[in-house]
Amino acid sequence: MQADYVIIGAGSAGCAMAYRLSEAGHSVIVIEYGGTDAGPLIQMPAALSYPMNMPLYDWGYQTEPEPHLGGRKLVAPRGKVIGGSSSINGMVYVRGHAGDYDHWAESGADGWSYADVLPYFKRMESWDANGHGGDPEWRGKDGPLHVTRGPRANPLFSAFVEAGRQAGYQVTDDYNGQQQEGFGPMEQTVHQGRRWSAANAYLRPALKRENCTLVKGLARRVIIEEGRATGVEIEAGGSVQTIAANREVIIAASAFNSPKLLMLSGIGPAAHLAEYGIEVVADRAGVGQNLMDHLELYIQMAASQPITLFKHWNLLSKAMIGAQWLFMKTGLGASNQFESAAFIRSKAGVKYPDIQYHFLPIAVRYDGQAAAEGHGFQAHVGPMRSASRGAVTLGSNDPKVAPKIFFNYMSQPQDWEDFRTCIRLTREVFAQDAFKPFVKHEIQPGQALQSDAELDAFIAEHAESAYHPCGTCKMGRADDPMVVVDPECRVIGVEGLRVADSSIFPRITNGNLNGPSIMTGEKAADHILGKRLPASNDAPWVHPNWETAQR
């Protein structure tokens, strides 16, 4: 078994690269340990809490005890299925802010500024505003990835945006267009009522070509001969086999598994590899370091009217929604229910948004547990650019053993201040007139919790990961000792090996990471093919009074 390019991981970036490299006429083999994504639990958008909690589709990782969160071990899901995490995520589509990518370029990822990445976001999208407005000049029309908006029929969706306006914030018609900052509609990777994962968008069309093949197996290590990656050793059907790469090996195995694979292959911090008896091929101190994520809180309100999704929180109603979706691909099953959003700045002097909101017309947790209060609604809120950094390290030299994942969440004093700000700003939004007809009382944190100390205790107990891990194979300049890949995504110190997925992000982007991960695959494919889309001249909106005003 051999191909020009061997890609490890059929996730968001891997599927995009398989599509573009095979489109250019190269032979491609994609290695994926997980199985099929067929079936309603993955394909039905409203069922999103199921696949994320199923060992069939999820690697089942969890963090080491997090000392600043009371020693809690948090779940750290990653998709173990074709489509990767795009097959088990919440389907929220966010490009990120222009300032994020300009920061990447400033920190050494030359050629990854907003002007450089915007053409790739446009190329990958097939954007449909469904007559809901939006910013068509900034969007793609005919890419593989369909991006849509929910119907926003529940009055709470417009109440959230109107409350933001009443509180003095901007309203934006398209946070993926010129202006991210403000309150407005949320976008989702859903097409004709189905989850539009990277598998549906990119991998299925690629596999229809004769030059693209999917191989099921566990990647054990990259084979490196005389400083060059020549193939991948996999375990499949109980035997160990080798897949040869005529040109390059590309790792796209997630922020957890990409650094793990590099280390198992002898690329990483030499002292750490020596602990596990792994021969050092390239001593790269940054492999597995620089781990980032978004944490969030669910601010929950009890509703004074029975208009929330809680009325469907029973077997009969779920069965009817499921049946309507199965036969018609319509109804409540056809949306992830995240249909209003906001991006705001925490204080004056912050140039672009550093807080994100997802609004949901039910009070429920990611694991599907509804609030005891019954009818309610919630805003997921959290800071976007925490300075806390963690690491992914080996737990063993056995490829079947999970890596050790330690985020070191809330390790900076600023994290606590930022989260308290999030809670207080959210309470202010929910206190606006637009919510007066709908609010009964605050469920969580609860009106009794007001002091810094009370809020800190709540944060330590209730902060949850938004499942946006990234940064563990940082991209930058070759002379930076913590950098793992150069701006062409080439692993420094080894020929014929690249990494392209969320692990190469120098710093976490604003919002959900699926869009930026797919863009990374799209752009990396062009780097591999030796071509580049021309940079964009479009200038993003920045609040004119950002230096002196918070809103």
DSSP 154-197: SHHHHHHHHHHHHTT--B-S-TTTT--SEEEE-EE-EETTEE--
Question: Is 119's pLDDT higher than 70?
Answer: yes
User: Hey, what long-range contacts does 410-415 have (CB within 8 A, 24 or more apart)?
Assistant: 410/66, 410/68, 410/69, 410/295, 410/386, 410/459, 410/460, 410/463, 411/67, 411/68, 412/386, 412/387, 412/388, 414/386, 414/387, 415/68, 415/383, 415/386, 415/387, 415/388
Phi-psi region of 12 (alpha: psi -120 to 50; beta: other; left: phi over 0): alpha
Whether the Cβ atoms of residue 25 and residue 531 lie closer than 8 Å to each other: no
Q: Domain 2-38+198-288+471-529 belongs to what architecture?
A: 3-Layer(bba) Sandwich (3.50)
User: Hey, what long-range contacts does 23-27 have (CB within 8 A, 24 or more apart)?
Assistant: 23/206, 23/209, 24/525, 24/529, 25/211, 26/211, 26/247, 27/3, 27/211, 27/212, 27/213, 27/246
Q: What's the length of the chain?
A: 551
Look at residue 185 in the predicted model and tell me its pLDDT: 97
Look at residue 366 in the predicted model and tell me its pLDDT: 67
* pLDDT tens sequence across 313-338: 888 999 999 999 999 999 999 999 99
Measure the CA angle with vertex 126, ends 122 and 127; round to 5°: 90
Asked if residue 383 has a cis previous peptide bond (ω within 30° of 0), the answer is no
Tokens of 395: 């737990």
Look at residue 447 in the predicted model and tell me its pLDDT: 96
**Active site residues per annotation:** 468
* pLDDT tens sequence across 480-529: 999 999 999 999 999 999 999 999 999 999 999 999 999 999 999 999 99
Tokens of 497: 């090996």
pTM (predicted TM-score): 0.98
Phi-psi region of 76 (alpha: psi -120 to 50; beta: other; left: phi over 0): beta
* pLDDT tens sequence across 328-375: 999 999 999 999 999 999 999 999 999 999 999 999 876 777 777 889
Q: Which CATH class is domain 151-185+295-383+411-462?
A: alpha beta
Residues whose CB is less than 8 angstroms from the CB of residue 397 and which lie 6 or more positions away in sequence, other chains included = 264, 276, 277, 278
Domains 2-38+198-288+471-529 and 151-185+295-383+411-462 share a fold: no
Look at residue 133 in the predicted model and tell me its pLDDT: 76
Tokens of 406: 């330690």
DSSP 8-state secondary structure symbol assigned to residue 394: -
Mean pLDDT of 37-62: 93
Among 369-378, 392-401, 527-536, the range scoring the smallest mean pLDDT is 369-378
Q: Quote helix, strand, coil % in the chain, to nearest 5.
A: 30, 25, 45
Look at residue 370 in the predicted model and tell me its pLDDT: 74
The C-alpha atoms of residue 289 and residue 481 are separated, in whole angstroms, by 11
Residues whose CB is less than 8 angstroms from the CB of residue 185 and which lie 6 or more positions away in sequence, other chains included = 132, 133, 149, 150, 152, 157, 161, 173, 174, 339, 340, 341
Mean pLDDT of 246-268: 98
The C-alpha atoms of residue 474 and residue 392 are separated, in whole angstroms, by 13
* pLDDT tens sequence across 291-304: 999 999 999 999 99
* Higher per-residue confidence, 282 vs 366: 282
Mean pLDDT of 449-476: 98
- What percent of the chain has a predicted confidence (pLDDT) above 90? 95
Look at residue 285 in the predicted model and tell me its pLDDT: 98
Domain boundary assignment for the chain: 2-38+198-288+471-529, 151-185+295-383+411-462
Mean pLDDT of 69-92: 97
